[in-house]
Structure 1
């Protein structure tokens, strides 16, 4: 990969929600549309994965 071809790629994103449960359906829908799948679930958080990219929501 050249430096230019890596421009704009994400490796890891962490999002915080003031009220976790009500935000679950919105974020779950959006991440699903972007091709992410639920990877982990814990008390007060979830993570989604797509290839080598991660999103954590707490």
Structure 2
């Protein structure tokens, strides 16, 4: 089982607004808060966004470079995926592959693909 994921972000307030909305919409609860970061928890797994003082290079994440491409989350169903797709732009996310929504991942794979202002991609799959 996954223990936690930690994302270093260039702008904490922006990350808290976008990630907090997304994770909250998927049932994650606020978990920890400190000057440079926040976390949300679902079961025993948690996600951290942090503006680390060790972060000295780069202004944003590039999912097209080596490293993390995206995180995939499971939603409760198609209606939940549709609601996220509809509301995402108001919370700092832009749709990826909108012309192929909701089957950008292939036939039978109902999902929305989103990218935040810092270049982090998420996939939310209907459970």
Q: TM-score range by the shorter chain?
A: 0.7 to 0.9
* Alignment equivalent of 2:9, drawn from 3, 17, 21: 17
**Which protein is bigger by CA-based radius of gyration?**
2
Alpha-carbon separation, structure 2, partners of 1:52 and 1:23: 22
How many pairs are equivalent?
50
TM-score with structure 1 length normalisation? 0.75
Q: Secondary structure at the match of 2:38?
A: strand
TM-score with structure 2 length normalisation? 0.37
Shift of 1:10: 3.0
* Alignment equivalent of 1:45, drawn from 16, 33, 37: 37
Alpha-carbon separation, structure 1, partners of 2:43 and 2:14: 27
CA distances 1:2-58 after superposition (whole Å, capped 9, x unpaired) = xxxxxxx53211111111112211010011112111011000101111111111110
Structure 1 unaligned regions, length at least 5: 1-8
Q: CA RMSD in A?
A: 1.2
Matches within 5 A, 1:23-38: 23-38=15-30
Structure 2 unaligned regions, length at least 5: 51-127
Partner of 1:57: 49
Structure with the bigger percentage of helix: 1
